[in-house]
Structure formats: C-alpha cells, structure tokens
Structure 1
Amino acid sequence: MQTPDYQGHCLANLMTSLIGGLGGTPSCHGPLRALPPEEVSRHRHVVLVVVDGLGDGFLRTRPAPFLNGHRRAGIHAVFPTTTATGITTFITGDAPAQHGLTGWHVHFRELGAVLAVLPGKPRYGGSGYDRAEGLDVLRWLGHDVTFNRIPVSSTMVAPNKIANTPFNKAHKGRARLLPFSGLQDMVNRVEQAVKGRHGNQYVYAYWSELDSLGHYHGPDSPQTRKHLEEVDRALANLAARLAGTDTLLIITADHGMTAVEHRLILADHPEIADCLTLPLCGEPRVAWAYVRHGRHERFERLVRERLGHACTLRPSTELLEEGWFGPGTPHPELSARIGDYALLMQPGWIVSDRLLTEKPFDMKGVHGGLAPEELEIPLVVTVC
C-alpha cells in the first residue's frame, strides 16, 4: 500500500512552495519538486484553483484539452485522502500530522463530541462548535492560516454554501472573501480578485461540484465526465481572461475518487460493534475504531477472522510512527483523533457504521483510502 510521499511530491509540499515563493515562512516539510518556490516568486500573481475530487488518472483518460495540455505532473494527496484533511492542508499549509484533522467525522475529545468538522455539525445530539459560547475556532484547532503566513494581499474565492461557515471564516485569516454562485461566477470572482488590486497577491479558489457528482453518480459516470468538460472550458476561459497579468495559475485537487463495489455493514457484525465505545469515525474508506477497555484482543481477532477479506486492521499508533500523516511535530490531539485501530479498506470496499438517525450510505463514489485513483491528483500549471 503506497502512502503519500511527503518528501517533495504531495499537497503539503505544494503549499511549502507557494508560501515560500510568496515570501512567507513555510512549515517543516520541503517544497514540491515539480514546482519550486523560485518559480512561484517570479510572478506577480499566484492563483490556486482546487477542483474537489479530480483524480489524475481520471483527468488523463478524459477529453479535457486545457487541463491535460498544461498538466505538469501527477502528485499525491495527503492522508486520509479526503476533503476535510486535504482542504485543511491548503488553508493552513500544514500536513495532517500538524493540523490534526483526520477525516469527515472526527472525535474531538476536548469537546466530548463526534463532529463533521467542516460544517461543524455533531453526528447526533448536542450543538455544533458554531454555538459554543466563547470558543475561538482557530485557537481551539491550533491552526496557522496560509493567508496569514504570506506578506502579500490574499483572496479566498468560495462557494456561497460554505463561504460563511464558522470553519471557513476562521481560516480565511487576513484574506478578502469573495463568495460565488456557480462555475462561471467563480471565474468572474477570480478575475475580479486578480485585476482589482495592485501589487503581488495570492488567490485561492475552491470548486466542489465534481466531487458531489462523483459521490452520487459515480466517479466515472456520464455526469462526472460531462462536468469535467465544463470545468475544463471554464478554466481555459479563466486563463484567457487573465492573459497579460503575469499570473501563475495552478490547478490541482484535494483527492481523487474510487467506485464503491462492496459494502461492509458493521451492524451485520454485532459482536464486533459491541467492542466499540464510539461509532466508527473518519471515512468509509479508512475508519478509526475506539475500542472498549479489555476488548482489544477480542476486537483484533474478530476483525481479522470475519472482516479480513474487506479490510486490513492496523494499530493507529503504527500509522503515526510510519509517517502516514506527514512530518513535523504532531498536533497535540492527533493521537486522540485516530482511535485505537485503523480499518483500511481494500480496493472497492467501504465500511458503514450507521446511527439510528442516519440514512443508509448510498454513495457510488468515495475517497479516503490509498488506492491510486484516490491518492494521485494532477498538478496543472500555466502562466497567464
């Protein structure tokens, strides 16, 4: 199983190149080999567009002439290969080991809750962190912010539906926020950001729809293929509209996607579920298991005997020691957010531990694991 290459080949390294090239102080990981900081520093404007869910293999096998024509390399996502973890790397500049967010559903020991971290919603009961009186989200999470680490003007271009969430607002730092309502509006907003200010600047834009279509129709469905062509045309239009501005335009993704072929339903294995103190956290492709005191040996034996065809069981501490989350001093809460064990799902498999209040998991495309289609993402670079 290939893990992310944090030695110059993944998203954390890309952010080091961007922060360093823009005159800031990067984190401890080195720059991206395919885009050194010296190249970034030669340009007046730097625009980073993140297309959620755009895998490198998917792109290379589809008709997307602009993106494929300017594809420089394939690089790696970070682990887990999911939006909550990857987007946090983009907006903090840190690898997951440092920022400490380990999937969609995270057990925050310090809040006594399991939350979907980006929207800030509890999995069941209680209130989200947006309603926690006196809670400073950025201080609680212990994050630096990319926009605050660079000495140039910054703009965050974000979809209306997430632009003003507590997570997004906390992580925009000093950046100007420009919400948008569709693909063409995103292009308009990026152009507005580049042309509306004097001096050097950094623009970060995020597009989510490819990921949404991949989840609900499948990562290689007609809907996702058609939408990729729309994204390709929109970004070609953006490059044309930025011509002559000395803009380094970089397009990449937070992760790729893989199709769901087999579903492991934890409720079908009550003896295993009975070993847990919490519902499985993390992702359907890599789940964090919190095991009751005195049940560890039983849990290991049952999982290996009954679920070994669908997943590999590893103590979570081994993943930490082996560097799956990247280099640097680990976040103080990292070990508490990955449970006792990791269930690493085999290709095509997902695990579902559904609460009574939740609908059955019916997504056709997923991510989070380390299959090549999840891990490998494109690096597209052009100068406008």
Structure 2
Amino acid sequence: MSADWLVPRYDGTALGALLPGVAAAMGHEIGLPAVDLPPAERVCVVLLDGLGHRLLLERARHAPFLGSLLREDGALVAGGPSTTATSMASFGTGLPPGRHGLVGYEVMDPARGELLNELRWHPGTDPLAWQPYPTVFEHLAGRGVPVTQIGNPEFYGSGLTVAALRGADFIGLGRLHERVDAAAERLRGPGLVYLYWADIDAVGHVHGWRSPQWRRTLRAVDRELARLARRLLPGTLLVVTADHGMVDVPHPDRLDLATRPGLWPRFRVLGGEGRFAQLYCAPGTSADAAAELAGQVSHWVGERAEVRTRAAAIEQGWFGPVDPRVRGRIGDVVVAGREPFTLIDSRTASRHVLSLVGQHGSLTPAEQLVPLLVTVV
C-alpha cells in the first residue's frame, strides 16, 4: 500500500499503548503494549480531540508550547476507524477496536437490529456488555492509584464513558481554564489525571482545519496548556495526545448514495461515517452477495476510496484481532476514503452532517497519526 495509507499495527506505536505506558511509568505493568515513558508518581494526560500530528506539524507556529514538545517522528497511530468513539475505547482499554468492540461512529447493534451511535448511545444497549474488558483506569484504581477524569459534565455516566473510560473519579467542568485548575489541584499528590478538550475538533468540523477559526482555537488551547505546565508540581509527567486527525473535504468531493438508486436494494442501512462508511445488508446476506455489492461500490468510487468486504477488512487487520461478538457490528462492506472523499446518503443524513467541512475516520496518515508530546515539568 502507498505512503498515503496507514493500516494500524496495534502495537507499542498505537494510541491504545499510551495509558498502559502511563501505568508502567507509575510502576504498574498491566500486560498490554505500552509506550515508553519516564517514571513518575504524578501524571497528567491531556487529549485534544481532533488535533492530528500532521495538523500540528503544519500549524506549530500557532502553538508555541505544544510546538516546543513536537518531534516529527513523535506520533501514535489512532486505529480503525479514526473516530472519537473508537479511539476513546482504544485509549481507555489499551485494546484494538476488534476486541473492545467500538468499531465506528454509528455501527450495527445486532441484538437490536439497529444502528448504535457510539457517542450518544442508546438505553437498550448495555455499555458493560458492549465493552466488557477492564479499562486501564480500573486496573490502576484497583491497585490504589488515584485516578481522575476531567471532561464535559454531560459525559458523566454516559454510555461511552462507562464503556471506554470507567474506573476514574469524574469531574465535569465546562471551561478549559477550569479543567486546567482542577487538574493542577488534583496533582498536588500522587496520581493520574486525564483531561479532555473537544473544541479543536468541533471547530475543524464546521470551518475546516485550515481555517482562521481553527488556528485561533489552537492558540487558545496552547496558552492554557502552557499555563497547566507552569502550575503542575516539579517532577510531574505531562503527556498530550489526540484521538484522530482531520482532512478538509470540499462538498463537491462528496459522493451521494441518493444518486445511485441501483445500489439501494443491495444494502439495508448506511452506518459508520463519511470517511469510513459501513454498509449493512439484510441479515443472512451471503458472502457472495456482499462481495458483489463491494465490487459495485468499488467501481463507482474508483481510486477515491478503498472498498473491502467485512471479511477482507478483518483479514487485512483494519480493526486488529476481532472477537466473535464484535464481527456483526462491522459493515458487510466498508468504504474508507482517500482524500478528499466522503460517502453520504442525503436521503437520511442530517443537515448538520451534510454541512461539515472537516472530516475523519479513514486510514490516511493525516487522520491516523496523533501527536505524542511528553515533558516532565
């Protein structure tokens, strides 16, 4: 595969290896691939939603603090797909998507026969059954390490939080400066604090990551993280990363299933996201029929995307090893975009989704590579 395509290896280079590396740095090996980090009793991990490694490299002058920690080869690989729900579960459990089971933005819940939005969740889907493996936070808390999660107040007790990040004390605060102050206060003693911030991703989706709005947002975040570094006690390990990168996709570069009525009888529902679409056929659809659909979609999209059947995507390692309970959550056909490309269905997509400029989900380096910024303050 060419240099503009990156299939994750799910080893010590993966985003999922970060928290096991933090655990090891605090003296607690948990038996999962781990990033090598300096030893520390106090650790603050900051995750900036949407801040891809290549984006930060290109915009480093707008982020002098983060840029001072940036190395061109200092990146982790998010995983497939490169989307928040999947990445947060990989980050939280240390496992590849095929094992933790959060395999996209909207994926099939075979028990209900409906799509599950893995950010918003559904009361009929038990997050503990959906993702039964222990989180790294649970491993550490079980060994007596104080663990704190600081994020949006509405995340407390949400399906995604329970599935991917359970085990930490939760602090819900709305503003970044409040989260910075809370993190510094919690780390007056030994322990791990995880701080999440979403604005870079949100602004990128609406305006694109090359926009002046995105640059202003990055500058503001950089100032607050520089202040965090000044407030942390000497000897504290500060690690900054992200859950995925982003590409800007002009609207003319979208392909719309609504314009292809010949494909409609071939699948039941479109899931995933625009850059990593998952087409689900009716239950009992044969492998030959799925392969035929994949062939038709591949002929339509041409070189703009990589098209695989579920079996082929699994065999080629897109999701890492796949547990049997997870297999049916993955689309019968998976369409992963090269840039620029998104696959939409204007018959069912919301006006908001159709308006987005910044996109992610696929296996390009711009979406897959996330920064690994490390300093001992």
Verify: 1:43 aligned to 2:36, yes or no: no
TM-superposed CA distance for 1:60, in Å, is: 1.7
- 1:306–1:227 distance in 2 versus 1, CA, 3 Å: same
Verify: 1:343 aligned to 2:335, yes or no: yes
Please tell me the residue identity of whatever aligns with 1:113: E
Partner of 2:56: 59
Matches within 5 A, 1:56-95: 56-62=53-59, 63=61, 64-72=63-71, 73-95=74-96
Query: Aligned residues: percent identity?
Result: 33
In structure 1, C-alpha distance between the alignment counterparts of 2:213 and 2:53, rounded to whole Å? 18
In structure 2, C-alpha distance between the alignment counterparts of 1:141 and 1:223, rounded to whole Å? 36
Q: Verify the 8 A CA contact 1:4 1:10 in the aligned structure 2.
A: yes
Deviation per residue, 1:103-133 (Å, 9 max, x gap): 110111023221211211xxxxxxx22xx4x
Partner of 2:309: 315
TM-superposed CA distance for 1:79, in Å, is: 1.3
Verify: 1:26 aligned to 2:20, yes or no: no
In structure 1, C-alpha distance between the alignment counterparts of 2:21 and 2:97, rounded to whole Å? 17
Verify: 1:187 aligned to 2:180, yes or no: yes
Verify: 1:210 aligned to 2:207, yes or no: no
In structure 1, C-alpha distance between the alignment counterparts of 2:249 and 2:301, rounded to whole Å? 17
Partner of 1:299: 293
In structure 1, C-alpha distance between the alignment counterparts of 2:50 and 2:102, rounded to whole Å? 18
SS in 2 for 1:156: strand
Partner of 1:17: 21
In structure 2, C-alpha distance between the alignment counterparts of 1:375 and 1:357, rounded to whole Å? 25
SS in 2 for 1:280: strand
Q: Verify the 8 A CA contact 2:205 2:356 in the aligned structure 1.
A: yes
Q: Verify the 8 A CA contact 2:89 2:165 in the aligned structure 1.
A: no
Verify: 1:178 aligned to 2:171, yes or no: yes
- 1:70–1:297 distance in 2 versus 1, CA, 3 Å: closer
In structure 2, C-alpha distance between the alignment counterparts of 1:318 and 1:27, rounded to whole Å? 29
Q: Verify the 8 A CA contact 2:249 2:340 in the aligned structure 1.
A: yes
Please tell me the residue identity of whatever aligns with 1:71: L
Which of the two has greater helix per residue? 2
Structure 1 runs not aligned, ≥5 long: 121-127
Aligned length: 359
Q: Verify the 8 A CA contact 1:317 1:335 in the aligned structure 2.
A: no
Please tell me the residue identity of whatever aligns with 1:67: L
SS in 1 for 2:133: coil
In structure 2, C-alpha distance between the alignment counterparts of 1:300 and 1:169, rounded to whole Å? 35
Partner of 1:6: 10
SS in 1 for 2:151: strand
- 1:355–1:191 distance in 2 versus 1, CA, 3 Å: farther
| Structure 1 consecutive aligned stretches of length 4 or more whose deviation exceeds 6 Å | none
TM-superposed CA distance for 1:298, in Å, is: 4.2
Partner of 2:237: 248
SS in 1 for 2:161: helix
TM-superposed CA distance for 1:24, in Å, is: 3.9
In structure 2, C-alpha distance between the alignment counterparts of 1:291 and 1:139, rounded to whole Å? 24
SS in 2 for 1:114: strand
User: What is the TM-score of this pair, normalised by structure 1?
Assistant: 0.87
SS in 2 for 1:53: coil
TM-superposed CA distance for 1:321, in Å, is: 1.9
- 1:266–1:27 distance in 2 versus 1, CA, 3 Å: farther
- 1:323–1:170 distance in 2 versus 1, CA, 3 Å: closer
TM-superposed CA distance for 1:320, in Å, is: 1.6
Which of 134, 159, 165 is matched with 1:144 structurally?
134
In structure 2, C-alpha distance between the alignment counterparts of 1:56 and 1:297, rounded to whole Å? 35
Partner of 2:107: 106
Deviation per residue, 1:156-193 (Å, 9 max, x gap): 10112323424325655332111111111111121122
- 1:218–1:313 distance in 2 versus 1, CA, 3 Å: same
Q: Verify the 8 A CA contact 1:289 1:340 in the aligned structure 2.
A: yes
After alignment, is 226-235 or 351-360 more displaced? 351-360
Q: Verify the 8 A CA contact 2:26 2:41 in the aligned structure 1.
A: no
Partner of 1:123: none
- 1:70–1:166 distance in 2 versus 1, CA, 3 Å: same
Q: Provide the alpha-carbon RMSD of the alignment.
A: 2.0
TM-superposed CA distance for 1:355, in Å, is: 4.8
Verify: 1:363 aligned to 2:365, yes or no: no
User: What is the TM-score of this pair, normalised by structure 2?
Assistant: 0.89
- 1:297–1:370 distance in 2 versus 1, CA, 3 Å: closer
- 1:356–1:96 distance in 2 versus 1, CA, 3 Å: closer
Q: Verify the 8 A CA contact 1:27 1:93 in the aligned structure 2.
A: no
After alignment, is 342-351 or 331-340 more displaced? 331-340
Partner of 1:225: 215
Which of 259, 284, 306 is matched with 1:268 structurally?
259
SS in 1 for 2:187: helix
TM-superposed CA distance for 1:136, in Å, is: 4.5
